[in-house]
């Protein structure tokens, strides 16, 4: 009976409250204060808007996908842009000023 009541109470807790409770209970496990702040900030930025006020027992897989899909689509784009931007900057730094970029193979005459 006690386990059932705890389970029911947990299912009624909002996602926001459950996340903050989990964060507090696991404070000793974070590698640093920065990581602890980032963990909660990520939920505040991405999940609380859509899931924050929902009871945890009512959150479906569709709700989670609704939160995660925009993140999954945007983060790889930003990372690819960072890598290509860094690679372009590196190429520009290694070339002599005024030297044309080498493209493809030289044509045989």
Q: What is the mean pLDDT of each run of 10 residues along the chain (109 residues)?
A: 65 90 89 90 92 93 90 75 67 56 51
pTM over 0.85: no
pLDDT of 22: 93
Question: In this structure, what is the dihedral angle of CA atoms 28, 30, 34, 40, given to the nearest 10 degrees?
Answer: -100
Model pLDDT, residue 107:
47
The answer to whether 17 and 59 are in contact (CB under 8 A) is: no
Cβ(2)–Cβ(10) below 8 Å: no
Q: Where exactly are the structural domains of the chain?
A: 1-58, 60-94
The pLDDT of residue 96 is: 56
Contact (CB, 8 A) for 15 and 63: no
What is the structure's pLDDT at 60?
93
């Amino acid at each position: 009976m006690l386990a059932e009541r705890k389970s029911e109470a947990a299912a009624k807790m909002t996602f926001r409250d459950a996340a903050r409770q989990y964060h507090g209970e696991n404070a000793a496990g974070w590698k640093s204060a920065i990581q602890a702040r980032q963990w909660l900030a990520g939920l505040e930025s991405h999940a609380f808007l859509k899931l924050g006020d929902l009871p945890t027992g009512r959150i479906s897989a569709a709700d989670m996908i609704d939160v995660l899909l925009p993140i999954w689509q945007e983060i790889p784009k930003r990372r690819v842009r960072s890598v290509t931007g860094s690679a372009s900057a590196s190429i520009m730094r290694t070339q002599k000023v005024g030297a044309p970029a080498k493209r493809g193979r030289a044509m045989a005459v």
